[in-house]
Amino acid sequence: MRNRSFAILFIAAGFASIFAEAACAQQSCQSLLSLKVANGTITMATAIHTPPDFDVPSTAGRFGTPPGLKVSVPFCRVGGVLAPTGDSHIGFEVWLPLPENWNGQYIGVGNPGFIGDIRYGGLARELTHGSAAASTDTGHLDVNATSEAPDAWAIGHREKVADWGYRAVHETTAAAKAIIRAYYGKPETLSFWSSCHEGGNQALTEAQKFPSDYDGIAAGDPAYYITHLQPASEYLAWVNVKEGVKAPAYIPPNKYPVIHRAVLDLCDKLDGVKDGFLEDPTRCHFDPGSIRCAGKADYASCLTEPQVETAKKIYEGARFADGKPIYPGFEPGSELGWGVMITGPEPLSINNGFLKSLVFEDPNWDFHTFDLIHATKLAESKYGPVLDSHDPDLSAFKAHGGKLLMYSAWDETAIPPRGLIHYYQSVLDKMGGPTQTDDFVRLFMVAGMGMCPGFGTGGNGAFDALEVIEKWRETGVAPDKIIASHRAGGEVDRTHPACPYPKAAIYDGKGDPLDAASFRCGNPTW
Ligand SMILES: [Ca+2]
């Protein structure tokens, strides 16, 4: 269990530095500098004594570690470089609590987007909880991190792309475990991974490709089928902006709330409570044509005929010529988040960058030339085996004793959520249905969560997925319900349950809709 007793940690911290070298560690922190790790070299092993507080390194970008973060507990800071191929340069750090403060756990810290930097904020968070933790720069450094998109580092560097895709996390995990064994004189009791978006893809990659690396894995809104997801996401924006933001087919942002209102008017009460959220948007059959403007008019309160067609494409998602889905579109109820992806004037940089740097390897590639089917097939043929994590066979992870929590917000608009249901269904089909899977893999689709914690939360708030997966693995009791909390001004003002799919939260018909206790998990009947 995570050590959340900060007070005890801080009291211990004062004495810990005194006894740091006298503790029962097999190796001192400094001596780890000479430790041999597979495929790499340790370049730093520094005992951090506090006080004074340690200034956590800051990194740039909106997902970076902001300056000013401090750590108040002593620890051993280890860093190095791993090179499984001649073109590899995987930077990593492992932060180790003093042996007397260690809770016995190892936590892998995930990465967002294609950003190449060490996640210092995540290391600091886990260290403060008493866990040993590691983070990798995924094999390339984005000094400015102005965008989460891939750029020049990927062009002509297939091995670096593979490092980003799956090797960096696995190699870092192996190195971190070797360092843990050396420093503490024993292995970790349990290891966990909990991350979102690309970090959710890393999560599923680990469960599929390296099933012994982690004992419990939480995959949030995972970007798991990258070679389909990125072209399909480009498509969602492209249908809106391909002819420019003045074109008749362009839906301006001021109409997102108009569409959202119409969706709620039609579907909010279907699940039994008019609370602003859809418990299962797949049961909402909204036709954007229902708010079509009369005649040729274009008012702020309705959609023109070309805009109706654009909205239909955004809900439907990208498809091959034969109608087979490439990746789902957005769900009804997500409209207030459409600006993340489709506003323009160009498609989102992460999707444009994927096509420029990985698929076409041409920094001057122009999105106006986008051909969905060609781009998807080229992406999958070039990089499917090293980037995609859609293998439904989780038998090795199950045999390892692993537990896998998958979750997504229904109103997620960076990664269309229905794709995760497709993956879950493929696991059920492969593994023999729920009776064979319920004890080690569960999917929670969350109404009104917006996005993963830390990426912007929706009206229903979020939950701590790491805490959930730790409890599941430690107790062996699978979660039947997860409570999401929304905070305002530091106070919880709303709680809402998330249920194991295909169950959804069912309102009791009388209680406070802002209280999770007014709902049970059940099969939707609407
Ligand atoms: Ca509702």
The per-residue pLDDT for 20 is: 41
Please state which of the ranges 30-39, 216-225, 261-270, 453-462 shows the lowest mean pLDDT. Answer: 453-462
User: What is the structure's pLDDT at 454?
Assistant: 63
Is a pLDDT exceeding 60 seen at residue 518? yes
pLDDT in tens, 104-157: 999 999 999 998 999 999 999 999 999 999 999 999 987 666 678 888 899 999
| Ligand 1 mean position, distance from CA 143 (Å) | 44
- Tell me what pLDDT residue 174 has: 98
Rounded to the nearest 5 degrees, what angle is found at the Cα of 290, between the Cα atoms of 344 and 287?
A: 70
Mean of per-residue pLDDT scores for the chain: 93
The CA 325 to ligand 1 mean position distance, Å, reads: 28
Q: Which two tokens stand for residue 253?
A: 């942002």
φ, ψ (nearest 5 deg) of residue 309:
-65, -40
Q: What share of the chain is helix, strand, coil (3-state, %, to 5)?
A: 40, 20, 45
pLDDT band at 61 (very low <50, low <70, confident <90, very high): confident
Q: How far is the CA of 281 from the centre of ligand 1 (A)?
A: 10
Q: Where are the domains of the chain?
A: 6-224+388-468, 228-384
Angstrom CA distances, 519 to 272, 482, 485, 495, stand at 10, 12, 14, 10
In the three-class reduction of DSSP (H, G, I as helix; E, B as strand; rest coil), residue 249 is classed as: coil
| C-alpha 275 – ligand 1 centre gap (Å) | 5
CA distance 180 to 32: 10
Distance, CA 261 to ligand 1 centroid (Å)?
13
Residue closest to 516 by CA, chosen among 491, 499, 501: 499
Cα–ligand 1 centroid distance for 447 (angstroms)? 9
Cα(227) to centroid(ligand 1), Å: 34
Instruction: State in Å: Cα 488 to ligand 1 middle.
Output: 21
Q: Per this entry, what is the length of the chain? A: 526
Contact 86, 32 (CB under 8 A): no
Binning pLDDT at 50, 70 and 90, where does residue 459 land? confident
User: When comparing pLDDT for 172 and 2, which is higher?
Assistant: 172
Q: How far is the CA of 424 from the centre of ligand 1 (A)?
A: 24
Answer yes or no: are the C-beta atoms of 91 and 79 closer than 8 Å: yes
Element (H, E) at 183: helix 168-184
- 513 C-alpha vs ligand 1 centroid, how far in Å? 9
Ligand 1 centroid to Cα of residue 144, in Å, is 42
Distance 98 CA to ligand 1 centre (A): 48
Going from the Cα of 268 to the center of ligand 1, the distance in angstroms, rounded, reads: 4
151-210: pLDDT as tens digits:
889 999 999 999 999 999 999 999 999 999 999 999 999 999 999 999 999 999 999 999
Measured in whole angstroms, the distance separating CA 450 from the mean position of its chain's CA atoms is 12
Q: How far is the CA of 271 from the centre of ligand 1 (A)?
A: 5
* 3-class state of residue 409 by DSSP: strand
Closest CA to 76 of 118, 29, 110: 29
Distance of alpha carbon 213 from alpha carbon 228, whole angstroms: 26
Q: pLDDT for 16-27, tens place per residue?
A: 443 444 444 579
Q: What is the pTM of this model?
A: 0.94
Mean pLDDT for the stretch of residues 261-288: 97
In the predicted structure, residue 32 carries a pLDDT above the cut 70: yes
What CATH class is the domain 6-224+388-468? alpha beta
CA 78-80-84 angle, to 5 degrees, is: 140
Q: How far is the CA of 337 from the centre of ligand 1 (A)?
A: 18
